[in-house]
């Protein structure tokens, strides 16, 4: 009797658990999205999802893959063989995606999304709700990169055609993690979410765009400040990421150039190695080139937190002389050059700060975080209303450039 | 007698051979527990009856005459051919009995005269009953009956063919001594005795098996081993109720605490140094004649996870070795389950590059991951079994079949994906490098349970399986010692001290769980939070 | 109280205590505290930890008078069968309730964080099987499991905190007092109510080897548990900015999601699932074994294992009574003062009563 009871229990357990097997999902049952973009439509949004084609990426059977992409139409099929972009219109992201599954044979899995792209229209309307929705879902990794697209997100994803990578996921990770790129910020979903919920602080996002062949006459050279789409880079890949967008309260306020992004990195202490041009004093049209790295962490201070807070920043940079006209070098000497570079950077940073203060009315460099220390209580801090006070604040920037090396050849 | 019986029994009929039902009622063999008679002829008749003389062809019976001081007596010897040494019988039994009587005048009664003065063989047992005499003769003795004396002298002239000392097969060692036990119990006890030169080493002779009477030796160091442990083992040995027991492995199932538990609770080792080390730790070692393995009791998980090499190697490498053992154990049991969890439930854990590669490889295989994995695991078990059965003849061909057909062909035929082969191979390597064979088997069985549980409910199933597996291990006992002893009943030693080798300048401490007598820490232990064995 | 063969040492007792306190932190306490006290939540862990330690000291002081006995036998001695049953029921009900809430929360949590959802029913069945299996092994099995799993859990938590170090933002601590000093103290008082798990110490006492070991174990256990709680709280507060930190479900899991391993893994947090699951399982099995043990002790039966399935059924029914997780959480918050009274105040009162009675008796003689 005991044995039979045991057997019955065992069968019951095995039966219920075997039923459980159907909750598992094979890898092949899933379509893994690489990037997800949001565009504005008249009545709702358009969700574009980019999928990688594993068979063509891993090179298992290359012959099939080239044929597979042709059904997406000649314009994107010709451009990118390894990915496919699917666009669905709807009122909500997830209902739209569910509808998209009918088109695909596989279930959409978002756990490998590397990039969340908001188009300019959406960003101007406000992205806070979407960000919250992404955070709520357990599918998205909080470390997903986010960006603003000045063109249509769908267009961007279709055009992005990495020439050095076959794996689009790798491309997005490399380009948006910006390990050594100071021309754009890098923002993850998580950072965006917390910034959005904090009051009085702006958000920065990298800007993506397509470089426009027709607007070549407007296009700028690398040294001027520019943002994505303005610079003409001769290459296969027309997709470009550079510059930074400033949002306040989830709404797009301002698109800043790569130059501003540089000073943003200087202020936040994320500066890598950069080259900077300083106009020559002696020779018209000539310039001095410096390679700068961060020497010490930037010190941000907030004093006299009254109606007009006095905000100060101290930036220490280490430099290497790359190019310097002889006349400047002989005239100024290293000390003079230090002085020149310091004053130049001070001016630029002050411009950047005042620009963001006036145009987008958002504190993006973290002065708010510093000011918070002076309050003992969250209520006081909220009452102080940082957003209003920041607009009235005054900046004093001290830069300290120390040219410690002159390269392999003494210029003097 | 059902119809099945007729298939098993063999007896010639029209249909073929079937075994006939026994028509005569079972006749119990004649009672051997009777005293030896004075008359040699009577004794001869009895021996013939007991030993089934003309039927058993290897029994040698030889008549001769002994010249005693006052008379000449008839005498005969009996022994088994091949079991006893003919030379010894000739030189030390027959020769003195037949020739030396004239030289040596008797100084004691006849009964003692023969054993004390005549037989020059070194070990002679005068036995009063047939039973004892026959038992000794069955173990290579030579029985001597002399007319007029109601004693059977049994000279110990064992001399059968035996395997010489060989390298241990299952427990290899790089630096340690290369001698393993053999099938002969005396040789084995001698090997231990020569390793531990301590007069307190007690080797108790016993026998198990109602019919087989297999000699065993229970070894312990008297002033070290816990008395209650020795008592308990003796009790269990006395309770063994089986007709025939030939090997230690058979005996193991009689002695261990629970047969249902997957893990072994007694360590079987064929290394002399290992057995000696365990004795010096206060453990008890049991050997059975006819088996080259010694049983070490009690044993915990950490006993199984140690190899002699971890003691011979220098400390840094020994610890690396120990780490490898634990990793291999964990891989052998958890890896396939973890693979199922990740590929079936947690795709987000896989690096994106690998994910695409996996997807591409799974895309072209027809079966689900679970089926592929289980089938390959089973095929590996088959291969391993085949390899053990015929290692020399079948080995190379099995390798070819395994590597080429199961591996290469299955992948190129798109039946299994290469990643599954990698996982199975990893698991197999892990399982093979688990230090103890029996422990490896125990965890190999669990591997399938983990695969199943993981397929059912992902990490939940996996964790519950891990939880229950650990609970099972926690409650397993080996002679009152918990299987996970220094960890689960946490004692002063703790995991790291037990599992790894410390930078010790003296090694006098004994395992906590044994509560051995000479442990230098045993006094303070009562105050610490150590767990006593019951 | 019959003489027990098994006894537990310092390590086991401490790990029981640590897990009982950690399981709440894993299941969402930091978020709750952040919601009520802002970014000063870490301070609450410190303050309430201190109060908890004081409470434990008081109880141990009282317990000194009743060596090797648990609260049920003390009650029986002091007030006969009536008091014994009264105390037993008042302890069993909160235990079952706590078990039920933990069961519900952990089952829902597992569901919510797993990408492909297993139905709640299957989760419950599997957890039920685990609980029954361990409960049949008795208190010994449950406590020994703690000794193995708790070090692993603590290591995993430490790894989470260390790995998320890169995302620490020191300015998140400011303003120092969070939502205000008043809120901090109020929330601390409230947090103490969550520590009704003190009852496990009382029930574990007769098993522990000696009074000295017990005192040391509880002391170390409490201190370690408070340190771990503080570390988790600080880690959580430092990685999440305040207004957002009050909104995140399952805080420690959220911290673990931050960890990045570059291209080596898309996201690593799933590897910590066994930690959350095993912590809850440990808590549930221990609760179940104690419920069964108290019932067995109160009814003086040898067949206490018969109680396993019925009490577990009750626990399941209570667990699935609230309609949603949020409701379950709210109920547990509301019930925590009652639970505290039943599991902390009641035993103290009973012990004081027994002590006075003892003294009077000895005075009279």
With a CB-CB cutoff of 8 Å, which residues 192-251 of chain C face chain B?
A: 209-210, 212-213, 217
Chain A residue numbers touching B345 (CB-CB < 8 A): 24-25
Cβ–Cβ of C137/B346 closer than 8 Å? Answer: no
Decide if pLDDT at A35 tops 60. yes
B67 by Cβ neighbours in 10 Å (0-12 / 13-18 / 19+) ranks as middle
- The reply to whether C176 touches chain A by the CB within 8 Å rule is yes
CB–CB contacts below 8 A, B to C: 126
Look at residue A65 in the predicted model and tell me its pLDDT: 39
- The reply to whether C246 touches chain A by the CB within 8 Å rule is no
Domain boundary among A256, A279, A297: A256
Span C245-275, pLDDT tens digits:
777 878 888 888 888 887 777 788 888 888 8
Structure tokens at A64: 């099939």
Chain C residue numbers touching A369 (CB-CB < 8 A): 169, 171, 174
With a CB-CB cutoff of 8 Å, which residues 248-267 of chain C face chain A?
A: 254, 257-258, 260, 263, 266-267
Q: Is residue A19 part of a domain?
A: no
Check if the beta carbon of residue B446 is closer than 8 Å to that of residue B473: no
- The reply to whether C173 touches chain B by the CB within 8 Å rule is no
Sequence-separated (6 or more) residues with CB below 8 Å from residue C334: none
Q: Which domain holds residue A281?
A: 259-412
Average pLDDT of the residues in A370-384: 83
C51 by Cβ neighbours in 10 Å (0-12 / 13-18 / 19+) ranks as middle
Q: Is domain C10-357 classified as CATH 1.20.1740.10?
A: yes
Confidence band, pLDDT 50/70/90 cuts, at residue A224: low
The helix/strand/coil state of B76 is strand
- The reply to whether C243 touches chain A by the CB within 8 Å rule is yes
**Kind of pairing between the strands at B284-288 and B477-478:** unpaired
Look at residue B177 in the predicted model and tell me its pLDDT: 87
Give the residue from C205, C225, C203 showing the smallest Cα distance to C214: C205
With a CB-CB cutoff of 8 Å, which residues 110-139 of chain C face chain B?
A: 110, 114-116, 118, 122-123, 126-127, 129-130, 133-134, 137
A377 vs C122, C180, C260: nearest CB: C180
Cβ–Cβ of C243/A190 closer than 8 Å? Answer: no
Average pLDDT of the residues in A219-230: 67
A52 and A138: one domain? yes
Beta-bridged to residue A395, according to DSSP, are: A311
**What is the phi/psi pair of residue A86, to 5°?**
-120, 130
Cβ–Cβ of A57/B348 closer than 8 Å? Answer: no
Span A335-348, pLDDT tens digits:
888 888 899 889 98
Cβ–Cβ of B459/C114 closer than 8 Å? Answer: yes
In 10 A of CB A294, how many CB atoms?
Answer: 18
Task: Provide, rounded to the nearest whole percent, the portion of chain C with pLDDT above 90.
Answer: 4
A241 vs chain C: nearest CA distance in angstroms? 21
Residue of C nearest to B528 (CA): C213
C137 vs chain B: nearest CA distance in angstroms? 7
A319 and A334: one domain? yes
The helix/strand/coil state of A258 is helix
* The model's pTM: 0.86
C175 cis-preceded (ω within 30 degrees of 0): yes
Structure tokens at A224: 């001027």
Interface test with A, best of C33, C109, C115 (most A CBs within 10 A): C115
A305 and A403: one domain? yes
Check if the beta carbon of residue B1 is closer than 8 Å to that of residue B99: no
Chain B residue numbers touching A110 (CB-CB < 8 A): none
Structure tokens at C54: 């004081």
Look at residue A200 in the predicted model and tell me its pLDDT: 67
Cβ–Cβ of C177/A139 closer than 8 Å? Answer: no
pLDDT-wise least confident of A168-177, A206-215, C343-352: A206-215
A295 vs chain C: nearest CA distance in angstroms? 20
Average pLDDT of the residues in C207-215: 79
Beta-bridged to residue A338, according to DSSP, are: none
- Cα separation, C309 vs C319, in Å, equals 15
The beta strands (E) that lie in A159-201 are given as 187-188
Q: Could you please report the per-residue DSSP string of C143-202?
A: HHHHHHHHHHHHHHHHHHHHHGGGG--GGGG-STTTT-HHHHHHHHHHHHHTTTTHHHHH
Confidence band, pLDDT 50/70/90 cuts, at residue A199: low
Domain boundary among A256, A273, A299: A256
In this structure, what CATH number is given to the domain that contains residue A263? 3.30.300.210
Confidence band, pLDDT 50/70/90 cuts, at residue C6: low
Check if the beta carbon of residue A154 is closer than 8 Å to that of residue A48: yes
A44 and A119: one domain? yes
Give the residue from A104, A113, A168 showing the smallest Cα distance to A137: A113
Distances (CA, A) of A41 to A98, A128, A154, A155, A156: 18, 18, 12, 14, 16
Q: A178: alpha, beta or left, given left = phi > 0 and alpha = psi -120 to 50?
A: left
Give the residue from B194, B229, B222, B218 showing the smallest Cα distance to B288: B218
A244 and A276: one domain? no
Domain boundary among A256, A286, A309: A256
Beta-bridged to residue A147, according to DSSP, are: A117
Interface test with C, best of B344, B460, B497, B527 (most C CBs within 10 A): B460
Cβ–Cβ of A17/B370 closer than 8 Å? Answer: no
> What angle (nearest 5°) sits at the alpha carbon of residue C113, between those of residues C160 and C311?
100
Cβ–Cβ of A376/C177 closer than 8 Å? Answer: yes
**What is the phi/psi pair of residue A43, to 5°?**
-120, 75
Look at residue B526 in the predicted model and tell me its pLDDT: 39
- Cα separation, B491 vs B364, in Å, equals 54
C213 vs B468, B487, B529: nearest CB: B529
Question: What is the C-alpha end-to-end distance of chain B, expressed in Å?
Answer: 48
Interface test with A, best of B356, B456, B468 (most A CBs within 10 A): B356
Span A381-406, pLDDT tens digits:
888 888 888 888 888 888 888 888 77
A122 and A263: one domain? no
H or E segment and range at residue A48: strand A44-52
Q: Is residue A21 part of a domain?
A: no
Interface test with C, best of A26, A168, A174, A194 (most C CBs within 10 A): A194
A393 and A279: one domain? yes
**Kind of pairing between the strands at A44-52 and A83-90:** antiparallel
- The reply to whether C265 touches chain B by the CB within 8 Å rule is yes
pLDDT, tens digit only, all 534 positions of chain B: 444 444 444 455 555 555 666 566 666 777 778 888 888 888 888 888 888 888 888 888 888 888 777 788 889 999 988 888 888 888 888 888 887 766 666 667 777 777 777 777 788 888 888 888 888 888 888 999 988 888 888 988 888 777 788 888 878 888 888 888 988 888 889 889 888 888 888 899 888 888 888 889 999 988 888 888 898 899 999 888 888 888 888 888 888 888 888 888 899 998 999 999 889 888 999 999 888 899 998 888 888 888 888 888 888 888 898 999 999 999 999 999 999 999 988 888 888 888 888 888 888 888 888 888 888 888 888 888 887 777 677 677 777 777 777 778 888 888 888 889 899 989 988 988 888 888 888 888 899 989 988 888 888 889 999 999 998 888 888 888 888 888 877 777 777 878 888 777 767 677 777 777 765 544 433 333 334 433
Interface test with C, best of B459, B472, B525, B534 (most C CBs within 10 A): B459
**CB burial readout A300-316, b (16+ within 10 A) else e:** bebeebeeebebbbebb
- Cα separation, B43 vs B76, in Å, equals 10
**Kind of pairing between the strands at A30-41 and A107-109:** parallel
Look at residue B329 in the predicted model and tell me its pLDDT: 92
- The reply to whether A31 touches chain B by the CB within 8 Å rule is no
Look at residue B390 in the predicted model and tell me its pLDDT: 73
Confidence band, pLDDT 50/70/90 cuts, at residue A69: very low
Confidence band, pLDDT 50/70/90 cuts, at residue C305: confident
Residue with tokens 């009664």: B109
B355 vs A17, A25, A32: nearest CB: A32
A266 and A411: one domain? yes
C278 vs B345, B347, B467: nearest CB: B467
Per 3-state DSSP, chain C is made up of helix, strand and coil in percentages (nearest 5) of 80, 0, 15
Look at residue B57 in the predicted model and tell me its pLDDT: 82
Listed by start position, the domains of chain C span 10-357
Neighbours of chain A (3+ CB pairs under 8 A): B, C
CB–CB contacts below 8 A, A to B: 87
- Cα separation, B283 vs C98, in Å, equals 46
Cβ–Cβ of A26/B353 closer than 8 Å? Answer: no
Decide if pLDDT at C65 tops 70. yes
Cβ–Cβ of C7/B531 closer than 8 Å? Answer: yes
The total of structural domains in chain A comes to 2
Mean model confidence pLDDT for chain A: 80
Beta-bridged to residue A409, according to DSSP, are: none
- The reply to whether C1 touches chain A by the CB within 8 Å rule is no
Residue of C nearest to B461 (CA): C126
Chain A residue numbers touching C119 (CB-CB < 8 A): 23
Neighbours of chain C (3+ CB pairs under 8 A): A, B
Beta-bridged to residue A205, according to DSSP, are: A245
Confidence band, pLDDT 50/70/90 cuts, at residue C282: very high
């Amino acid at each position: 009797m005991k044995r039979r009871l045991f057997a019955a229990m065992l069968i019951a357990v095995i039966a219920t658990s075997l039923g459980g097997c159907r909750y598992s999902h094979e890898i092949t049952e899933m379509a893994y999205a690489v990037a997800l973009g949001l565009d504005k439509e008249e009545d709702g949004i358009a969700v574009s999802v980019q999928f990688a084609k594993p068979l063509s990426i891993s090179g298992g059977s290359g012959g099939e893959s080239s044929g597979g992409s042709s059904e997406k139409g000649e314009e994107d099929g010709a451009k990118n063989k390894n990915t496919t972009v699917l666009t669905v219109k709807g009122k909500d992201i997830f209902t739209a995606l569910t509808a998209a599954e009918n088109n695909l044979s596989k279930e959409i899995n978002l756990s490998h999304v590397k990039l969340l792209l908001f188009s300019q229209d959406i960003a101007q309307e406000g992205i806070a709700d979407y960000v919250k929705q992404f955070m709520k879902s357990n599918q998205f990794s909080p470390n997903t990169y986010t960006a603003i697209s000045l063109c249509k997100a769908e267009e961007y994803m279709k055009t992005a055609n990495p020439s050095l990578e076959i794996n689009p996921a790798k491309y997005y990770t490399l380009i948006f993690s910006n390990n050594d790129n100071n021309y754009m910020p890098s923002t993850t979903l998580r950072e965006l979410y917390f910034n959005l919920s904090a009051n009085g602080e702006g958000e920065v996002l990298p800007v993506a765009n397509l470089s426009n062949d027709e607007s070549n006459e407007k296009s700028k050279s690398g040294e001027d400040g520019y943002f994505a789409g303005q610079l003409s880079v001769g290459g296969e890949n027309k997709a470009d990421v550079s510059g930074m967008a400033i949002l306040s309260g989830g709404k797009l306020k301002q698109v800043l150039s790569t130059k501003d992004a540089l000073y943003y990195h200087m202020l936040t202490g994320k500066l890598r190695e950069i080259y900077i041009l300083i106009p020559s004093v002696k020779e018209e049209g000539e310039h001095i080139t410096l390679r700068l790295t961060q020497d010490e962490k930037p010190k941000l201070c907030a004093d006299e937190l009254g109606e007009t807070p006095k905000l100060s920043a101290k930036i220490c940079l280490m430099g290497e002389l790359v190019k310097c006209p002889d006349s400047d070098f002989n005239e100024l000497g290293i000390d003079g050059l230090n002085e020149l570079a310091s004053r130049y950077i001070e001016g630029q940073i002050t411009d950047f700060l005042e620009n963001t203060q006036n145009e987008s009315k958002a504190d993006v460099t973290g002065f708010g975080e510093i000011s918070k220390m002076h309050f003992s209580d969250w209520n006081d801090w909220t009452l102080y209303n940082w957003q209003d006070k920041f607009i009235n604040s005054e900046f004093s920037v001290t830069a300290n450039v120390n040219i410690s090396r002159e390269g392999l050849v003494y210029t003097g | 007698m059902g119809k099945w019986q007729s298939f098993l029994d063999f007896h010639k009929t029209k249909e073929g051979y079937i075994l006939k039902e026994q028509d005569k009622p079972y006749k119990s063999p004649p009672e051997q527990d009777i005293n030896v008679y004075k008359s040699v002829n009577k004794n001869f008749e009895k021996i013939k009856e007991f030993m089934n003389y003309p039927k058993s062809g290897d029994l040698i019976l030889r008549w001769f005459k002994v010249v005693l001081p006052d008379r000449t007596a008839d005498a005969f010897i009996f022994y088994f051919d091949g079991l006893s040494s003919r030379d010894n019988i000739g030189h030390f039994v027959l020769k003195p009995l037949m020739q030396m009587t004239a030289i040596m005048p008797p100084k004691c009664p006849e009964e003692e005269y023969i054993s004390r003065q005549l037989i020059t063989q070194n070990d002679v047992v005068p036995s009063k009953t047939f039973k004892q005499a026959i038992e000794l003769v069955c173990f290579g003795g030579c029985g001597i009956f002399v007319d007029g004396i109601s004693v059977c002298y049994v000279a110990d002239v064992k001399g059968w063919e035996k395997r010489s000392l060989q390298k241990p097969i299952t427990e290899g060692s790089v630096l340690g001594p290369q001698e393993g036990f053999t099938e002969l119990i005396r040789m084995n006890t001698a090997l231990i005795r020569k390793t531990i030169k301590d007069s307190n080493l007690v080797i108790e002779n016993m026998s198990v098996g109602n019919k087989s009477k297999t000699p065993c030796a229970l070894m312990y160091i008297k002033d070290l081993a816990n008395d209650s442990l020795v008592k308990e083992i003796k009790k269990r040995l006395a309770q063994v109720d089986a007709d025939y027991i030939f090997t230690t492995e058979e005996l193991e199932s009689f002695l261990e605490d629970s047969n249902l538990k997957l893990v072994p609770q007694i360590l079987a080792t064929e290394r002399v140094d290992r057995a000696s080390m365990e004795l010096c730790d206060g453990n008890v070692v049991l050997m059975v004649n006819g088996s080259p393995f010694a049983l070490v009791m009690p044993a915990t998980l950490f006993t199984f996870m140690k190899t002699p090499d971890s003691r011979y190697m220098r400390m840094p490498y020994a610890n690396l070795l120990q780490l490898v053992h634990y990793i291999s154990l964990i891989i052998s049991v958890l890896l396939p389950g973890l693979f199922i969890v990740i590929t079936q439930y947690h795709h987000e854990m896989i690096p994106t590059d690998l994910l695409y590669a996996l997807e591409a490889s799974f895309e072209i295989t027809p079966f689900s991951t679970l089926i592929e994995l289980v089938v390959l695991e089973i095929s590996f078990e088959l291969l391993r079994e085949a390899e053990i059965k015929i290692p020399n003849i079948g080995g190379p061909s099995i390798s070819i079949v395994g590597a080429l057909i199961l591996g290469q062909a299955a992948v190129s035929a798109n039946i299994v994906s290469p990643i599954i082969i990698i996982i199975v191979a990893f698991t197999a390597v892990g399982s093979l490098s688990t230090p103890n064979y029996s422990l490896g088997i125990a965890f190999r069985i669990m591997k399938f349970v983990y695969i199943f549980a993981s397929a059912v409910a992902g990490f939940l199933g996996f964790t519950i399986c891990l939880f229950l597996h650990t609970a099972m291990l926690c409650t397993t006992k080996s002679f009152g010692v918990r299987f996970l002893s220094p960890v689960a009943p946490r004692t002063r030693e703790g995991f790291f001290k037990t599992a790894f080798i410390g930078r010790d300048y003296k090694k006098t401490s004994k395992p906590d769980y044994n509560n051995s007598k000479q442990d230098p820490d045993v006094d303070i232990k009562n105050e610490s939070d150590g767990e006593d064995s019951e | 109280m019959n003489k027990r063969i098994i006894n537990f040492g310092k390590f086991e007792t401490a790990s029981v205590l640590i897990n009982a306190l950690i399981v709440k932190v894993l299941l969402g306490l930091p978020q709750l505290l952040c919601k009520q006290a802002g970014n000063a939540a870490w301070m609450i862990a410190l303050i309430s930890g201190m109060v908890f330690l004081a409470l434990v000291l008081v109880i141990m002081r009282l317990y000194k008078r009743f060596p090797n006995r648990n609260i049920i036998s003390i009650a029986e001695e002091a007030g006969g069968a009536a008091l014994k049953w009264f105390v037993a029921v008042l302890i069993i009900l909160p235990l079952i309730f706590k078990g039920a809430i933990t069961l519900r929360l952990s089952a829902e949590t597992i569901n919510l964080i797993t990408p492909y959802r297993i139905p709640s029913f299957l989760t419950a069945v599997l957890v039920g099987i685990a609980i029954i299996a361990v409960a049949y092994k008795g208190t010994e099995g449950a406590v020994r499991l703690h000794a193995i799993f708790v070090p692993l859990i603590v290591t995993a938590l430490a790894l989470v905190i260390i790995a998320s170090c890169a995302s620490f933002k020191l300015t998140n601590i400011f303003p120092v007092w969070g939502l205000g000093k008043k809120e901090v103290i109020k929330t601390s008082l409230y947090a103490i109510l969550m520590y009704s798990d003190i009852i496990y110490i009382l029930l574990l006492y007769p098993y522990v080897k000696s009074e000295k070991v017990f005192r040391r174990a509880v002391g170390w256990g409490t201190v370690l548990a408070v340190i771990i709680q503080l570390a988790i709280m600080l880690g959580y507060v430092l990685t999440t900015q305040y207004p957002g930190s009050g909104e995140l479900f399952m805080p420690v899991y959220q911290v673990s999601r931050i960890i990045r391993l570059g291209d080596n893994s898309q996201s690593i947090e799933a590897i910590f699932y066994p930690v959350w699951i095993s912590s809850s399982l440990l808590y549930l099995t221990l609760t179940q074994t104690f419920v069964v043990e108290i019932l067995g002790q109160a009814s003086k039966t040898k067949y206490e294992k018969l109680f396993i399935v019925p009490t577990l059924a009750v626990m399941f029914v209570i667990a699935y009574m609230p309609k949603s997780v949020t409701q379950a959480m709210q109920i547990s918050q509301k019930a925590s003062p009652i639970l505290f009274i039943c599991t902390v105040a009641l035993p103290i009162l009973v012990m004081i009563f027994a002590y006075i009675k003892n003294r009077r008796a000895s005075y009279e003689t």
